[in-house]
Structures are given as structure tokens and as C-alpha cells.
């Protein structure tokens, strides 16, 4: 079925982009479309060119689509002009669609308040089961059918580029709806083809340990600083706008270690907090605001409550990473703790990947794989690549997980080089 386009507004970023702000309506549950709808938000982007003579849209040939599937789960898209690779994609002749995946950004946003509208914890958990990758790609297919309805039949396929969790969605898309895809680009997002999160986290912990060692090797002075901060937090209740600064919240800062610049950004926070304690005996308000801005679990609660389920196919996650203890330090998360616990005991998660379909894949797939990726272990990614017929990979040990943001020109050039067959 096609999504219903219910609103479209155009504006121009001078000298750069023509942006359309789009709202679509899709079913909450595609197998029961009569049981309510969601509103999805997306921005489409074209190169802004003001012709000498106005040209009507119906006289222009259809422009191929490239759809960006962002990481997460639970994070919405940023404004298009903040993506450094967009210009390269437009130069290649695409128009780009930035879709806020269901429950994120402006797409029927999931918060404690909006979940409360569903009823008790059991009903909230049932609602949240509709927000995994299988329904995200169903949304994509519904929107594709809407946006290409006037295209010639042979032009209705589109291209997708998936970053991190967006790459997981891309492989689900290849498994479920390959007929809708012209080509697939994946950046640090070849998913582990496993059943359950335990095997994933076992390898993740290895990389986290490596990055912690790299951090303390670069900033040995932070060993004592972290100890000082942790000791202070064990003896003092420190309020934050989002909840409470706990030792676990300090540990959570390590999530940034797998990103370009992550070690330095966390050093700055630790340095500030330790300096506050040394001078004043407490952590000052500006430092608390800076600490609170890292993590974002209260603003992206899908990440907190559904992250483990992205690895589940027929089994319960059972809080594999012991995430539930984090909920007490976030006021927003604490409100949906019961629903999260129900999801952690859910066993009937449907399969997200079809290995038989991947083995006979005919869609061109181009993947950037990072040897030192802290979030998607290289061994898991390599195993998955071996199961997707025809995949081409750019493999590097000089980029980290967020290279599409931090080294966007270099990375997108490598991906397009794979597509254009210029590597020999």
C-alpha cells in the first residue's frame, strides 16, 4: 500500500537547496491497517537552481531518489544542510529524502507523555512492538509508492543509504522488499545475523575495553579524576535537568569513545567536573548542563527501550546489557520502566533478515566497514557481508563509526567509487 501524503511545504536555503517538508500517514500495524495510523515526517532535498525560464515540474524528467536511513534506533534526522555528503549526492543526480523513522523526530514521536496516551504498561509495550526495523522499511516502501506514483514503471525503484542502525534497516529492506531498491549504500551498519543480543554485546565489550584503554593512554591524568568524580557521586545526590547524575551516567559517557573526537570530548567533561570538585567541592551548573547533554536517552527513549530488540528474532533480550539500572537516573525513562521490562521479556519478535534472500540478492550493495568500529564489530560485519550476494566493501582502519559525519567527503567518495567501478 502507498502512504498518504497529507502535507507538503517548500522553502529554499539560499544558493544551496530546495527543501520540501513532507508529512505522510501510514498504519501503525500494516497487518491491521484499520487499527490506527502514524504521521511520518520527511524532508526532500534538491539542488536549488533558478532557471532563466521557469520550467513546470511535469516537464522535468523524474529525478532518482536516495533515501537516508539514520542511526539509532531512536534518533531523528538533522536538517539537510548539516549533512556534509549531501552536495556529493546531488552532484550525482539524486534528490535526497531524509525520513524521521517512526517514533523519532517529528514522526509520531515516542516520549513518556505520548506513550501514556496508549494506556497502561501492557498497552504501551504492545504499541512499541511496532517500531522496529521491519515496520520502518514497510514505511519506506509505502512512501516510495507514494512519491514515485507518477514515475514511469521502470523508474520507481529508489536508492538507500543506511548509517549504523540505518544499515541494519537496509539489510532488512533487502530481505523484505528487494524489488523496491535500485542500489544500497551502507556505512558502518552491516548487522550481526544472530538471534539475540548476548553474542553481539560480548564482542562489543571487547571494543569498549580497547577504547577505554586508548582513552586512559591518551589522558592518564583522567584516571584519578574519574575516581574523584565517582567517589563524589556515590556520596552525593546531584540533580540534572533530565534526572540524577549517578556513577552509571558517568560510565555512559563512554558511548562516545567509538566516534571521531570522542576521546577528546569526554576528556573535556571529566576535566571540567574534576576541576569543579577541586576548586569548589561540587560540580557547577554549566558543567552539569554539559554532562546532561551527553547520552540523550531521555530524548531518544526508543534507543533505551528497543535497542536490544534489534538483535532479537524469536527470543527475549532479557536485559542482556543490564540497561534497566540506567532508567532510575532519567526521570523520563523511569516513567516507562514497566513497559520496557515487558519488552525485555517478549519472545515472539519476528525475523528481521532473510538469509536465503540475501544469498540470491541481485541489488547492488556498497558497504563501508570499519575495522575499529566499537558499535558494529568487524567480525560480525564481515560474516554478514559474506552472506549478501554481490556486495562490494570499502574496508578501513582509519575511520570510526561516525565517519559519514566526521569524514563525509572521503567516505562518500569511496562509496561512489565502489558504485562507479573505479577501484581496480
Q: Coil, strand, or helix at residue 115?
A: helix
β-pairing verdict for 17-27 and 4-13: antiparallel
Give per-residue burial for 101-138: e unless 16+ CB within 10 Å, then b.
Answer: bbbbbebbbbbbeebeebeebeebbbbbbbbbbbbbbb
Q: Provide the 10 A C-beta neighbour count for residue 49.
A: 7
Q: What is the DSSP string of 59-78?
A: GSPPPPEEEEE-STTTPPPP
Residue pair 21/89 in contact (Cβ under 8 Å)? The answer is no
Active site residues: 164, 373, 401
Q: What's the rounded Cα separation, in Å, for the pair 44 and 282? A: 47
CB 81 within 8 A of CB 170: no
What's the DSSP call for residue 130? T
In this structure, what is the dihedral angle of CA atoms 189, 194, 196, 200, given to the nearest 10 degrees?
-50
Give the 3-state secondary structure of residue 195. coil
Task: Give the 3-state secondary structure of residue 318.
Answer: coil
To the nearest 10°, the Cα dihedral for 241, 40, 144, 314? 70
- For residue 121, the 8-state DSSP code is H
Rg (alpha carbons) of the chain, rounded to whole number: 22
Amino acid at each position: 500500500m502507498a502512504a498518504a501524503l497529507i502535507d507538503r511545504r517548500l522553502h529554499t536555503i539560499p544558493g544551496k537547496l530546495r527543501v520540501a517538508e513532507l508529512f505522510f500517514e501510514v498504519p501503525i500495524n500494516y497487518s491491521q491497517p484499520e487499527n490506527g495510523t502514524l504521521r511520518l515526517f520527511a524532508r526532500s532535498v534538491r539542488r536549488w537552481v533558478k532557471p532563466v525560464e521557469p520550467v513546470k515540474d511535469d516537464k522535468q524528467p523524474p529525478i532518482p531518489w536516495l533515501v537516508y536511513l539514520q542511526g539509532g534506533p531512536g534518533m531523528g534526522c538533522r536538517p539537510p544542510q548539516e549533512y556534509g555528503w549531501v552536495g556529493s549526492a546531488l552532484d550525482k543526480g539524486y534528490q535526497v529524502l531524509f525520513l524521521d523513522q517512526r517514533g523519532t523526530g517529528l514522526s509520531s514521536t515516542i516520549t513518556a507523555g505520548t506513550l501514556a496516551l496508549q494506556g497502561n504498561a501492557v498497552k504501551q509495550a504492545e504499541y512499541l512492538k511496532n517500531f522496529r526495523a521491519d515496520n520502518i522499511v514497510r514505511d519506506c516502501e509505502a512512501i516510495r509508492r507514494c512519491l514515485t506514483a507518477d514515475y514511469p514503471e521502470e523508474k520507481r525503484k529508489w536508492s538507500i543509504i543506511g548509517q549504523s542502525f540505518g544499515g541494519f534497516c537496509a539489510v532488512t529492506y533487502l530481505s523484505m522488499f528487494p524489488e523496491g531498491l535500485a542500489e544500497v549504500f551502507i556505512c558502518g551498519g552491516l548487522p550481526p545475523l544472530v538471534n539475540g543480543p548476548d553474542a553481539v554485546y560480548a564482542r562489543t565489550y571487547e571494543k569498549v575495553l580497547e577504547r577505554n584503554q586508548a582513552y586512559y593512554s591518551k589522558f592518564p591524568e583522567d584516571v584519578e579524576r574519574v575516581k574523584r568524580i565517582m567517589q563524589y557521586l556515590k556520596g552525593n545526590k546531584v540533580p540534572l535537568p533530565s534526572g540524577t547524575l549517578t556513577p552509571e551516567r558517568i560510565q555512559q559517557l563512554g558511548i562516545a569513545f567509538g566516534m571521531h573526537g570522542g576521546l577528546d570530548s569526554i576528556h573535556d567533561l571529566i576535566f571540567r567536573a574534576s576541576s569543579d570538585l577541586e576548586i569548589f567541592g561540587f560540580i557547577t551548573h554549566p558543567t552539569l548542563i554539559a554532562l546532561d547533554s551527553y547520552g540523550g536517552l531521555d530524548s531518544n527513549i526508543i534507543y533505551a527501550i528497543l535497542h536490544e530488540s534489534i538483535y532479537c528474532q524469536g527470543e527475549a533480550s532479557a536485559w542482556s546489557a543490564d540497561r534497566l539500572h540506567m532508567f532510575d537516573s532519567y526521570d523520563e525513562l523511569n516513567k516507562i520502566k514497566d513497559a520496557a521490562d515487558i519488552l525485555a521479556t517478549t519472545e515472539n519478535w519476528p525475523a528481521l533478515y532473510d538469509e536465503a534472500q540475501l544469498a540470491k540478492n541481485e541489488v547492488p550493495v556498497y558497504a563501508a566497514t570499519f575495522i575499529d568500529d566499537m558499535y558494529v564489530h568487524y567480525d560480525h560485519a564481515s560474516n554478514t557481508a559474506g552472506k549478501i550476494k554481490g556486495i562490494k566493501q570499502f574496508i578501513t582502519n582509519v575511520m570510526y563509526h561516525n565517519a559519514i559525519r566526521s569524514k563525509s567527503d572521503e567516505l562518500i567518495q569511496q562509496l561512489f567509487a565502489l558504485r562507479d567501478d573505479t577501484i581496480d
